[in-house]
Amino acid sequence: MIPVQGVENQKIAVLGLGRSGRATAAALAAGGAQVIAWDDGVDTRAAAEAEGLTIVDLTRDANWHGVTALITSPGIPHLYPRPHPVIAKACALGVPVDNDIGLFFRSYATPDWEGFDCAPKVIAVTGSNGKSTTTALIHHILQECGRPTQMGGNIGTGVLSLEPAIDGEVVVLELSSYQTDLARALTPDVAVFTNLSPDHLDRHGGLGGYFAAKRRLFAEGGPDRAVIGVDEPEGLYLAGQMQMGPADDRVIRVSAGQKLDGPGWSVFARKGFLSEYRKGRQAASIDLREVTGLPGAHNHQNACAAYAACRAVGLAPRQIEAAFHTFSGLPHRSQTVAEIGGVRYVNDSKATNVDAAAKALQAFERIRWIAGGMGKDGGISLLAPHLDRVSKAYLIGHSARDFALELGATPHEVVGTMEEAVARASAEAQPGDTVLLAPAAASFDQYSNFEKRGEHFAALVEALKGG
């Protein structure tokens, strides 16, 4: 645990008592704060109270006397589409609102660091797609190269549940827009922006607000090095804002499909090869085509971003290349779960929007595509350029019939359930085909989250081996 600094003898309220909320309450208490807490869920409140937390109804004005800060969990809206009533009350009373990310950044460094030979560093990764894989890949590379490292944030361990820093350690954090939007302190040593595509627009009041939440990691954080994907206009704009001039190598530009020119520092992938350029000259090249844990152009972008971040903390190209080959990928993200009779089964349940599904479709040929669920605004019409790779689509869930109307001449079948989709796809697949779960939709119509959906797919595929 990382005790929160600067809160001794203060009365601090915590809103939301899920994993991060309970960890936040414990870290505040360890820092000497008097913690009161609230959650909208009756059962959640009861469970937290049984663990020793002081539950106070923060919807009542009388309970705010002496409160100096409100710490909220990331899933609770603070502005759009409308503020949670407790957050609105805090704002009306002039009580500062923060989250666990802000507390982490103001508490991670301690006086113990003065005795370290090498100061610990924080690499923070944000973006729309690929940030989990990029975060895990950076963490894996650091481990393989013998660097002390921890991983947390939106993946793995909550930030305040991480262990205090040790000499030379690198903490790698995945940060969502929900986390960067509100944090009052953001001070990473290396900040990574993977890409931007429309997502969570209701929470941020539109695409501009969504990008602004991501941008805070750079504008507020002032990282020593910024690794920025420039394949979208927003990334290109952000890179330009961060650079003092064309040769400013504090910004490392990243691309997954174009050669990047200029005198600065860039890392890009083309035709399966990663290239690093500095001061107009090539510094390294890596063949990504045989890196089985990173299939497809979207994973090549993740590889470029992770490579750049690791170079920014001093790792050598050959070290990074060797670590690429031992990376097995993340569950539910272009994860090969089996190969049966020459048919590859890939779980990309995390592809919950059209952009992520497009990248999954581009990674394979001869696809038996399992798609559907709780569709998002705009449908799947933007996937039309990639449907020539689809031998047949098997549509499940709430939006199955809506998706069917948009598939045109692409062979498809509304099957309804994952069981039927896997059964039909496996029965019809030929050697060389890929059965790909890339839903282009949320899971909430049939599953509690995308992980459960992916686990169900993997279990059904595993059962095929016994057949």
List, for residues 122-157, the tens digit of each pLDDT value.
999 999 888 999 999 999 999 999 999 999 999 989
Q: How confident is the model at residue 67 (pLDDT cuts 50, 70, 90)?
A: very high
Quickly count: other Cβ atoms within 10 Å of residue 288's Cβ: 21
Quickly count: other Cβ atoms within 10 Å of residue 270's Cβ: 15
Q: Give CA–CA dist 100/24, Å, rounded.
A: 6
Q: Give CA–CA dist 149/315, Å, rounded.
A: 14
| Mean pLDDT estimate for the chain | 95
20 labelled binding-site residue: no
Q: In the beta sheet, which residues pair with residue 12?
A: 35, 69
Average pLDDT of the residues in 65-94: 95
Q: Give CA–CA dist 34/342, Å, rounded.
A: 60
Average pLDDT of the residues in 422-435: 97
Q: How confident is the model at residue 171 (pLDDT cuts 50, 70, 90)?
A: very high
User: Which residue numbers are catalytic?
Assistant: 131, 154, 200
Q: What is the C-alpha radius of gyration for the chain, rounded to an integer number of angstroms?
A: 23
Residue position matching structure tokens 């913690």: 35
pLDDT at 336: 87
128 labelled binding-site residue: yes
Fold of 11-98: Rossmann fold (3.40.50)
Distance of CA 6 to the CA centre of its chain: 29
Fold of 103-324: UDP-N-acetylmuramoyl-L-alanine:D-glutamate ligase (3.40.1190)
Residue 290 pLDDT more than 90? Answer: no
Antiparallel, parallel or unpaired: β 225-229 and 97-98: unpaired
Global model pTM greater than 0.75: yes
pLDDT at 308: 98
131 labelled binding-site residue: yes
- Residue 163 CB contacts under 8 Å (≥ 6 apart), including other chains: 1, 2, 150
* Phi, psi at 99, each rounded to 5°: -135, 180
In the chain, residues under CATH classification 3.90.190.20 are 335-466
In the chain, residues under CATH classification 3.40.1190.10 are 103-324
Q: Give CA–CA dist 83/226, Å, rounded.
A: 32
Q: Cβ(205)–Cβ(322) under 8 Å?
A: no
Q: Give CA–CA dist 180/312, Å, rounded.
A: 22
130 labelled binding-site residue: yes
Q: Tell me the CA distances in angstroms from 226 to 153, 239, 250, 313, one per residue in order.
A: 19, 8, 6, 12
Q: Tell me the CA distances in angstroms from 266 to 134, 174, 227, 291, one per residue in order.
A: 17, 22, 9, 21
What number does CATH give the domain 335-466? 3.90.190.20
In the chain, residues under CATH classification 3.40.50.720 are 11-98
